[in-house]
């Protein structure tokens, strides 16, 4: 155990990874449970969940996972399973990194390992949220998205193709390497764990933080609304770009979220947008507006008469939606190299 209390974000991530329904599990009070066991040992796991007839005993490590960590978890299980009346125990170890020896031992002992995203805040150890380099920043994301497109290339080529300094590129790759997002082989780097990359982006740049407004529209269908908004805003030379679900659906053909359209619009244009397209009495399509945190307008594309963000920006935005858009995000990541 690293601290008596863990950040709420870690708890929610672990619950999702365990596949718990939103409100089905209970966060068990360890103190009450421990008192009922009546064993005087200084032990306290980070979380205990009860769901589906099982107790899930969770240890979170922000530092290196050691043999002592696994031994302590085994002790949790022995103490609890020797107490009559308690349900079966599933041990869960959550950490950013784990050595192969410890991972193999955990697997043999039936301890489930959950890999934490590199951007999530952990109590101790290598916490990359405090570094000056953000993987989701405009400059860093150029490097990452280029690597996704190239699949395998050198650090030097990444820097040259995106016009980013070699030093910055090397630091970005170093962060991703230490979190096992990429692998290095004979001078080339390759994305090794796309899911970990996408999970990290969801924590570092949640798209909901950029949401500025949600406006009911006078349109009956989402695609028609996106086309009509495109036609009008283009004619008025107002910068905009449909993003996330709307853009991702057009790039991939993957159908999702048919009740809203999603787009970037400068804050000073929102009132005008509302006057032109809004209908406060409408109960159908809604526009979810985001204020851009970078230049998203200079590299747009037009698909099916709808102006959308670039593939790189679209993937970044979808990742920022987290679990709610995970299926579409993975489809977008799979197709990214060909877009």
Query: Residue 124's pLDDT is what?
Result: 45
| DSSP β-bridge partners for residue 49 | 27, 56
* pTM exceeds cut of 0.95: no
User: For residue 183, what are its two tokens?
Assistant: 């692998």
Q: How far apart are CA 22 and CA 12, in angstroms?
A: 9
Residue 248 lies in a domain: yes
Residues 131-184 pLDDT 10s: 467 899 999 999 999 999 999 999 999 999 999 999 899 999 988 887 788 999
User: For residue 339, what are its two tokens?
Assistant: 């877009």
Distance (Å) of CA 123 to CA 71, 129, 206, 309: 21, 11, 21, 36
Query: Residue 282's pLDDT is what?
Result: 82
248 with 313, same domain? yes
Read off the pLDDT band of 26 (50, 70, 90). low
Residue 201 lies in a domain: no
Q: How far apart are CA 43 and CA 316, in angstroms?
A: 41
295 with 240, same domain? yes
12 with 43, same domain? yes
Contact call for residues 250 and 303 (beta carbons, < 8 A): yes
Max mean pLDDT range (11-25, 35-49, 200-214, 263-277): 263-277
* 82 torsion bin: left (phi>0), alpha (psi -120 to 50), beta (else): alpha
Q: Is the pLDDT assigned to residue 286 strictly greater than 90?
A: yes
334 with 216, same domain? yes
Residue 124 lies in a domain: no
Query: Mean pLDDT over all residues of the chain?
Result: 86
Least confident of 42-51, 97-106, 149-158, 306-315: 42-51
CATH number at residue 219: 3.30.460.40
Residue 198 lies in a domain: no
Read off the pLDDT band of 3 (50, 70, 90). very low
Residue 120 lies in a domain: no
272 with 322, same domain? yes
Average pLDDT of the segment spanning 256-277: 93
User: For residue 283, what are its two tokens?
Assistant: 């109960």
Query: Residue 196's pLDDT is what?
Result: 85
Q: Please give the tally of structural domains in the chain.
A: 3
Residue 202 lies in a domain: no
Query: Residue 309's pLDDT is what?
Result: 98
- Specify the DSSP class assigned to residue 96: S
266 with 309, same domain? yes
Query: Residue 295's pLDDT is what?
Result: 97
Q: How far apart are CA 294 and CA 267, in angstroms?
A: 13
Q: How far apart are CA 243 and CA 290, in angstroms?
A: 9
N-to-C CA span, the chain: 45
Read off the pLDDT band of 203 (50, 70, 90). confident
Query: Residue 43's pLDDT is what?
Result: 57
CATH number at residue 17: 3.40.1350.10
154 with 266, same domain? no
218 with 309, same domain? yes
Q: Is the pLDDT assigned to residue 332 strictly greater than 50?
A: yes
Task: List the one residue out of 282, 280, 241, 238 whose CA is nearest residue 263.
Answer: 241
Query: Residue 173's pLDDT is what?
Result: 93
Q: How far apart are CA 34 and CA 275, in angstroms?
A: 60
Residue 316 lies in a domain: yes
* 187 torsion bin: left (phi>0), alpha (psi -120 to 50), beta (else): left
**Domain span including residue 257:** 207-338
37 with 143, same domain? no
214 with 320, same domain? yes
Max mean pLDDT range (50-64, 70-84, 225-239): 225-239
Residue 34 lies in a domain: yes
85 with 140, same domain? no
Read off the pLDDT band of 55 (50, 70, 90). confident
User: For residue 9, what are its two tokens?
Assistant: 């974000």
CATH number at residue 159: 1.10.10.10
Max mean pLDDT range (47-56, 121-130, 270-279): 270-279
Contact call for residues 237 and 244 (beta carbons, < 8 A): no
């Amino acid at each position: 155990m690293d601290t008596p209390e863990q950040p709420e974000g870690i708890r929610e991530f672990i619950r999702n990874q365990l596949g718990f329904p939103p409100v089905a599990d209970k966060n068990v009070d360890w103190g009450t449970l421990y008192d009922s066991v009546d064993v005087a040992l200084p032990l306290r796991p980070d979380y205990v969940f009860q769901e589906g007839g099982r107790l899930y005993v969770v240890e979170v490590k922000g530092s290196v996972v050691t043999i002592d960590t696994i031994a302590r978890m085994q002790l949790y299980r022995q103490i609890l399973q020797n107490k009559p009346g308690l349900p079966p125990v599933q041990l869960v170890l959550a950490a950013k990194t784990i050595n192969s020896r410890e991972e193999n031992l955990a697997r043999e002992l039936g301890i489930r390992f959950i890999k934490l995203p590199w951007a999530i805040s952990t109590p101790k150890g290598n916490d990359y949220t405090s570094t000056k380099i953000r993987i989701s920043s405009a400059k860093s994301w150029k490097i990452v998205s280029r690597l996704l497109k190239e699949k395998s290339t050198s650090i030097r080529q990444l820097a040259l193709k995106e016009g980013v300094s070699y030093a910055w590129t090397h630091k970005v790759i170093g962060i991703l390497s230490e979190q096992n997002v990429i692998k290095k082989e004979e001078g080339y780097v390759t994305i090794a764990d796309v899911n970990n990359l996408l999970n990290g982006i969801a924590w570092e740049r949640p798209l909901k933080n950029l949401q500025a407004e949600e406006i009911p529209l006078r349109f009956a269908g989402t695609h028609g609304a996106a086309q009509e908004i495109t036609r009008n805003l283009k004619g008025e030379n107002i910068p905009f770009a449909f993003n996330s679900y709307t853009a991702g659906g057009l790039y991939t053909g993957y159908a999702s979220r048919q009740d809203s359209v999603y787009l970037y619009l400068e804050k000073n244009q929102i009132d005008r947008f509302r006057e032109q397209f809004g209908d406060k009495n409408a109960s159908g399509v809604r526009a979810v507006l985001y204020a851009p945190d970078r230049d998203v307008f200079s590299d747009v594309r037009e698909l099916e008469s709808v102006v959308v963000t670039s593939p790189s920006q679209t993937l970044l935005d979808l990742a920022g939606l987290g679990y709610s858009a995970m299926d579409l995000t993975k489809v977008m990541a799979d197709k990214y190299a060909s877009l």
